[in-house]
């Protein structure tokens, strides 16, 4: 299961096996344990965090308690591997077993989720479609 720690006012820290598909739909072998991925939308090293969030008032206010509608879609790969897809000018789409936890230890578990990485969602860490207004 992919574990993602939500850093308050900062990036996503991803730990666990997954396949990353980039914006050009190419599978990329990205390594790091954990990997730190941008969710403020200002990194110059996408999908990675380059600490840009520290230079403006990025406020995450993660809402993991909120009811979030997910589909029961199964993981994309038959072996159950979680697939993380960077949607061009949009969120990270995670297909597969995923566990989210914030720094207050509030958690969420699901199987198919889109996480904001433009920094503008009102329901962070989830995408609410706000990226469509800014890109």
Element (H, E) at 131: helix 131-134
Residue 71 C-beta: closest distance to ligand FES, Å: 17
C-beta closer to ligand FES: residue 50 or 81? 50
The radius of gyration of the chain from alpha carbons, rounded to an integer in Å, stands at 14
C-beta closer to ligand FES: residue 97 or 129? 129
90 binding ligand FES? (CB under 6 A)? yes
Q: Which residues of 75-94 are buried (b: 16+ CB within 10 A; e: fewer)?
A: bbeeeebbbbbbeeebbbbb
C-beta closer to ligand FES: residue 75 or 91? 91
The site for ligand FES (CB under 6 A) is made up of 90-91, 116-118, 120-121, 127-131
């Amino acid at each position: 299961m992919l574990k993602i720690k939500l850093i308050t006012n900062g990036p996503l820290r991803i730990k666990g096996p997954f396949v990353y598909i980039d914006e050009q739909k190419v599978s990329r072998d990205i390594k790091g344990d954990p990997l730190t991925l941008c969710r403020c939308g200002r990194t110059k090293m996408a999908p990675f965090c380059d600490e840009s969030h520290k230079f403006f008032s990025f406020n995450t206010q993660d809402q993991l308690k909120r009811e979030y509608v997910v589909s029961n879609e199964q993981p994309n790969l038959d072996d159950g591997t979680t697939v993380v897809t960077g949607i061009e000018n949009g969120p990270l789409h995670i297909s597969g077993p995923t566990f989210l936890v914030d720094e207050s230890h509030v958690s969420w578990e699901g199987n198919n989720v889109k996480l904001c990485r433009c920094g503008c969602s009102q329901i962070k860490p989830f995408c609410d479609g706000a990226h469509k207004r800014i890109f």
